[in-house]
Amino acid sequence: MRELVQTALLQEQGLREIPKYAGILRAVAGGHAELNAIAQAAGLPLDTSLRDKVERLIGLGYVRATRNFGVKRTAPFRYYLSDPPFRFYYQFVAPHEAALERSDPARFWRERVAPALDTYMGGVFERMAEQAYTRLRDEHGLPLVGEWGRWEGKDRAGEQIEIDVVCELADGRGMTGAVKWDRQPVGVDLHERHVAMLERLATSGIKWAHDARAKTAPLIYVAAGGFARDFAGTMRKSRKDVFLWSLEDLYGGPRSRRRLVDIRRSRSASVTFETMAEISSIQGGILNRASSSRSCGAADIAVAPT
């Protein structure tokens, strides 16, 4: 897998200046989401050539461009790596090639990867939730989504706000929510914070946030570790349509999927993070072979944190 990631750009027909493309991917993987920051991190001028290269990477499927939900078409894009193996490689492997040559892979995992894996998985889990919604919509009769997005920025008071899920439904309603990669069940404070952020955005003049406060506007909360026992009861009093999904709900087989649809059939779930091994196996497979051609025994590396 590592060899495939390393040579992917080389295999693209007609792609020149490979080191510059690789530099752009490293910059995006490092959290530089806007063009100016990407240019600085990659050591490239902010010019038409850079924009063309980023567009080429988007066309090839390596990078995706997003805007805040509801903004004008003239608003700047933010850029992220599309493929989890590439994100993992450029975040954990590429910057530490020298260390991997001289270190035991299992120790490298414990010291370098495991402490940062939850933060890394936060962004990945948002994409997983979006894909799971699309995959399960017909099976469970979920509302049809016209546009799925997110919102990140500051309110009128200058306070930072992040809304993980902002959707325009086909029936005209708006659905919002939060996606959290937590090891423990989340409490009702997650809902309280979300509603408070909607209020702040609404008072800042954001129309979709004003509409999202309506009792008829669905809510969706996806929490890897599940929900506290009082979460469902609180949600019943808040909205008519609320979807609570844990990691077990998304990948736990037919039994959990039967209770996936809405809060009326949900129960609190406390998921052990043994399931993380399945999710991180794609990324871990890259690191597992990161030193395969060197003296250290990469085959012994763990693919999930202990």
pLDDT tens per residue across span 168-210: 999 999 999 999 998 899 999 999 999 999 999 999 999 999 9
Give phi and psi for 45, each to the nearest 5: -70, 145
User: For position 173, what pLDDT does the model report?
Assistant: 95
Q: How far apart are CA 110 and CA 99, in angstroms?
A: 13
Domain 2-120+276-300 matches domain 122-274 at the CATH topology level: no
Q: What angle do CA 224, 259, 191 make, to 5 degrees?
A: 50
Q: How far apart are CA 200 and CA 32, in angstroms?
A: 27
User: For position 5, what pLDDT does the model report?
Assistant: 63
Report the CATH architecture of 2-120+276-300: Orthogonal Bundle (1.10)
User: For position 6, what pLDDT does the model report?
Assistant: 62
Looking at residue 235, its amino acid is M
pLDDT band per the 50, 70, 90 thresholds, residue 7? confident
Residue pointed to by tokens 């091994």? 277
Looking at residue 265, its amino acid is R
Q: Find the distance separating the first CA and the last CA of the chain, reported in whole Å.
A: 23
User: For position 34, what pLDDT does the model report?
Assistant: 94
Sketch the domain layout of the chain as residue ranges. 2-120+276-300, 122-274
DSSP state of 299: G
Q: How far apart are CA 301 and CA 31, in angstroms?
A: 26
Using alpha carbons, select from 105, 305, 31, 4 the residue that is nearest to residue 96: 105
DSSP string, 210-256: HHHTSTTS-EEEEETT-B-TTHHHHHHHH-S-EEEEEHHHHHS-HHH
Instruction: State pTM to two decimals.
Output: 0.77
pLDDT tens per residue across span 43-87: 999 999 999 999 999 998 899 999 999 888 888 899 999 888 888
pLDDT tens per residue across span 18-36: 889 989 998 998 889 999 9
pLDDT tens per residue across span 131-155: 999 988 888 889 999 999 999 998 8
Chain CA centroid to CA 71, Å: 20
Correct CATH for 122-274 of 3.30.300, 3.30.160, 3.30.450, 3.40.1350: 3.40.1350
Q: Where do the DSSP E strands lie in the chain?
A: 63-66, 78-81, 145-154, 160-169, 174-180, 219-223, 242-246
Q: How far apart are CA 200 and CA 197, in angstroms?
A: 5
**Beta carbons of 223 and 180 less than 8 angstroms apart:** yes
Residue 56 CB neighbour total at 10 angstroms: 16
pLDDT tens per residue across span 232-258: 888 888 888 999 999 888 876 544 443
